[in-house]
Amino acid sequence: MRDIVVAKFGGSSLADKDQFIKVKEIIVSDKNRRYIIPSAPGKRHSRDHKITDLLYMCHQLATHGLNFDEVYNVVEERYRGICTGLELELNIGEALGEIKSNIKEGASKDYCGSRGEYLNGLILSNYLGFQFIDPKNLILFNDRGQLEEEKTEMLIGEKLKDVKYAVIPGFYGAKENGDIVTFSRGGSDVTGSVIANGVKASLYENWTDVSGFLMADPRIVENPKTIEVITYKELRELSYMGAPVLHEESIFPVKKHGIPINIRNTNSPEDHGTMIVDDSTTEKPRKITGIAGRKDFTVINIEKALMNEEKGFLRKAISVFETNGISIEHIPSGMDTVSVVAANTELNGKIDKIKEELRIYCNPDTITHDTNMALIAVVGRGMAKTKGISGKVFTALGNSDINVRMITQGSSKLINIIIGIDNEDFEKAMESIYRAFENE
């Protein structure tokens, strides 16, 4: 692994000319920051618009034959303002004009959505004096819109081997025929990860507007501590339960070669942020790494005497949810009971149909359901080797007069405990669990 750093900068980091100046200072302070991945300009203030949202709006209006000049003028003004503020000689008007023309002629939604990153890439490469490389020539998608991982890795290795410094816009690539394809929103994170994997980087930096991940949601828990080190698996667990972290697909490319990810703050570059490392790390963990959760789940409870002796019972029950297109979150069970947990949004309008089909296929003794349950995940690779973690969690909840409705705990390489509680107790439970572990 070479001393190559891939640095991705988010929309808030590149929202205006002042942010561009900060970004340049960060990049030039380390000669190993060789491949830079920019997002489209984000919001400058709460009432502002993200450029990508405006470009999607332009596409929507054009699709219906409506005039989108007023919206596109806002896009143009933002980019022209950045170029003027940075005193660049770049003719950004030419690129803006070409994009506007293409939208009028029926350009695809993916093309329109990707132009925010494309334009920011042109500006940043000119400002830094780095080579501009269009990711449509590096990141390959198949006809189904899926990333061609092996071909992409090979392309990146070949095309960047003699390129010392480059700016590569995030969020998109292309099919072999040149049609633009975007990742899902937030996909610039994925671009950075894919490039880091392709060049076999020593580090992938992800620069944003926070100094790493926090142990709990700061909207619920006051002043939670920053997570200094977290593994890929821990991150996946917290992300799955709603923690505001990286794009969920951005871990997989770097995980292949054990490349660490460093989450940093563009506005406080002196902060070390959070380091995301390989699951095999030997660094001593905290007792718990973080807490995350979500509200609004429904639990369907199925009871049947001697259920454990009936072969295929669980398969039949799960198949009912599958045929109705419902994703299952958890399946806690006992000898004669099984409960299926699903998000309310998944079950919307289907609960009676699900229960009726379960009666037909499973012939249970009783079926009930409880709504408005919240799930909280307590995550940490140190949990498996630390006695009393579960006891401490439930003591904290008991002392706060919170009733636990469900417990799910893995038995192999334990890194999380899932707790089900009433929606109304969610915030109090998060606070109670965090305070029980904040100093350990």
Instruction: Report the domain count for the chain.
Output: 2
pLDDT at 243: 67
Residue 399 identity (one-letter amino acid): N
Q: Mean pLDDT by 10-residue block, N- to C-terminus, for the chain (440 residues)?
A: 89 96 98 98 94 98 97 97 96 97 97 98 98 97 94 96 97 96 89 96 95 90 91 83 71 89 96 89 78 92 86 89 90 86 89 92 90 90 80 93 84 75 95 89
Asked whether residue 130 falls in the same domain as residue 162, the answer is yes
Same domain, 347 and 218: no
Where in the sequence is the domain holding 389, given as residue range(s)? 290-437
What confidence score (pLDDT) does residue 281 get?
A: 74
Do residues 125 and 167 make contact, with C-beta atoms less than 8 angstroms apart? yes
Residue 2 has a pLDDT of 67
Flag whether 284 is in a domain.
no
Which one of 225, 252, 277 terminates a domain?
277
> Which domain CATH number covers 375?
3.30.2130.10
User: For position 158, what pLDDT does the model report?
Assistant: 95
Q: Answer positive or negative: Cα dihedral of 357, 359, 360, 362.
A: positive
Residue 379 region, left (φ>0) first, then alpha (ψ -120 to 50), else beta? beta
| Residue-wise burial string across 128-142, b where 16 or more C-beta atoms lie within 10 A, e elsewhere | bebebbbbbebbbbe
Are residues 116 and 260 located together in one domain of the fold? yes
Residue 427 lies in a domain: yes
In angstroms, the CA 114 to CA 170 distance is 8
Q: Are residues 170 and 224 in the same domain?
A: yes
For residues 295 and 272, membership in a common domain is answered with no
What sign has the CA pseudo-torsion 367, 370, 374, 378? Answer: negative
**Residue found by looking up tokens 């293409």 in the block:** 102
Both 273 and 328 in one domain: the answer is no
The alpha carbon of 65 is separated from its chain's Cα centroid by a whole number of angstroms, namely 34
Q: What is the CATH number of the domain that holds 120?
A: 3.40.1160.10
pLDDT at residue 275, as a whole number: 93
pLDDT recorded at residue 91: 94
Whether 242 and 318 share a structural domain: no
Distance CA 318, CA 334 (A): 16
Do residues 46 and 149 both lie within one domain? Answer: yes
Together in a domain, 106 and 254: yes
Query: Are 226 and 345 part of one and the same domain?
Result: no
pLDDT of amino acid 279: 79
Q: Which residues of 6-15 are buried (b: 16+ CB within 10 A; e: fewer)?
A: bbbbbbbbbb
Apex 189 CA angle, 186 and 195, nearest 5: 140
